[in-house]
Every structure is written in structure tokens, then in C-alpha cells.
Amino acid sequence: MAQQIKKRTITIAEKGGTFSTIFHKIKGSKKNSGISSLRRLLSNEKARLLHVCKTKQPRSIYELAKTLGRDFKAVREDIRLLEQFGLVELTSSIKNNRERLRPIVDADKLEITINL
């Protein structure tokens, strides 16, 4: 039995001389604030972050930041944006009376469609 590829789709549509972005989650859709959100999403740092989450499976955002060699606050902000787009899911656990958020990437493919 072949493994099903999990994908996320972003559709960009031209409307009256501007682009609007619609992100389709597996269930339903969520409208974001346009092409500027997509620009923030498609950076090399975010691609690297997604790759590390997918391949190394860090146990926390802190561990992810250490692995990437980046500031914790910047990584946390990137994770929040990726979570808004449904590319990262955060699972919570408690260790030593502190909440630990584990970033999980379960998608295999990001598909972007531009309708003109």
C-alpha cells in the first residue's frame, strides 16, 4: 500500500489589480492578509526551519533554535507564522513544571497556485 502524501495548498488570485491569498487547510480554508503573508512565509530561514523540524524532530522550540543556531524569540515568531498557515503543529507537554511546545511538520508537500 502506497503512503499518502500530505500536502498544503496556497492559492493566490488576482482581484482588481491586487493579489489575495487563500490558504486551504485539509478541513476548510482560512483567508490570510494577502501576498505579504506569503512573502513572509517563503524565506530561506523558514524553509530551513521546516526541514529541521521534519528531519530532526526537535522536542521543543528551544531545541529547534539551538539546532538552527538562531535566537529563540525569532524562531518562536517564525513557528507562530508557520502554525497560522497550518505548516507546523505545536504539541504541548509539561517537564519540570514548565510547558514545552514541540513543533511538528506532518506535511510532505506545499503547493502554490497562482490564478491570473
pLDDT tens, residue by residue, 51-91: 999 999 999 999 999 999 999 999 999 999 899 888 899 99
19-38: pLDDT as tens digits: 655 554 433 344 445 667 77
> In 3D, which of 104, 2, 111 has the Cα closest to residue 50?
104
Return the H-helix or E-strand segment holding 77: helix 72-84
Q: How far apart are CA 110 and CA 9, in angstroms?
A: 6
User: What's at 10, amino acid-wise?
Assistant: I
Report the Cα 98 to chain-centroid distance in Å: 24
Residue 30: the pLDDT is: 47
Residue 107: the pLDDT is: 84
List the domains of the chain with CATH numbers: 7-115 (1.10.10.10)
Residue 63: the pLDDT is: 97
- pTM value is 0.75
